[in-house]
Amino acid sequence: MHTLIRRSRAPLALTAAAVALMSCKGDSITDPAGEAEVISRVTLTLTPPSGAAVSAYIDDPDGNGPTAPSAQVGTLSLPAGTTFTGAVRFENRTVTPVENITDEVKTEANDHRVFYTVSGTGVTVTTTDLDGSGRPLGVTFTAGAATGTAAGARTIRVLLCHYDGGVAKTAAATSCTAETDIDVTFTAAVP
């Protein structure tokens, strides 16, 4: 009789686990059950004080899935002593028409933040926009290399953090402690 009871519980536990797995609908690698946006392209645009803007993008066809993002298309150059205004654009290009996720991020600004991490020295990226509660958002920014910065390649990591499920967004945060919607790394040159 005890054997029969054990057998009847195991299928019930397996069924509950299968239902839980099938109900997961998120797109994030850090929170599979969350309400993450599907982002398949990230574009950085840098505008100098005078002259034409430059852009580069990275495609990630499965969003934050297991497939690695594509190589960067376009060149980002940060001459020493010049400060650029910048903007990031998030798109879902897996649907027609293409969905501009940046609009969603701005509409839900209290639940999002873009974090920028620069490798190397002399280059800074500073968020210039705020959410409705006065905390950094990061859709717009300034970027530049200080005068005298050594020439060479730098990387700029762009991580879109989605605060959901009880994790509070704080103004002082220096890294994402919530769900990651997208995480890609660009190369920028200091000529």
CA dihedral 65, 69, 70, 71 (to 10 degrees): -170
Mean pLDDT of 125-132: 98
Mean pLDDT of 160-165: 90
Do residues 131 and 173 lie in contact, with contact meaning Cβ atoms separated by under 8 Å? no
d(CA 130, CA 139): 9
CA–CA distances in Å: residue 50 to residues 9, 54, 75, 108: 71, 12, 18, 32
What is the reported pLDDT for 125?
98
What is the reported pLDDT for 35?
55
Mean pLDDT of 117-124: 96
Among the listed residues 104, 114, 106, 158, the one whose alpha carbon sits nearest the alpha carbon of residue 132: 106
Mean pLDDT of 51-80: 93
Give the length of the chain: 191
State which amino acid sits at residue 1.
Answer: M
d(CA 116, CA 155): 10
Higher-confidence position of 50 and 11: 50
**φ, ψ (nearest 5 deg) of residue 155:** -120, 145
Is the confidence at residue 70, as pLDDT, over 80? yes
Mean pLDDT of 145-163: 97
Is the confidence at residue 18, as pLDDT, over 80? no
Domain boundaries, the chain: 27-190
Specify the 3-state DSSP secondary structure of 40: coil
d(CA 184, CA 180): 11
Is the confidence at residue 103, as pLDDT, over 70? yes
Residue reference for tokens 């499965």 = 62
Mean pLDDT of 152-156: 97
Average pLDDT, the chain: 84
β-bridge pairing 76-77 and 179-190: parallel
Helix H or strand E segment including 123: strand 123-127
Lowest mean per-residue pLDDT among 51-55, 108-112, 150-154, 161-165: 161-165
Is the confidence at residue 79, as pLDDT, over 80? yes
Higher-confidence position of 17 and 50: 50
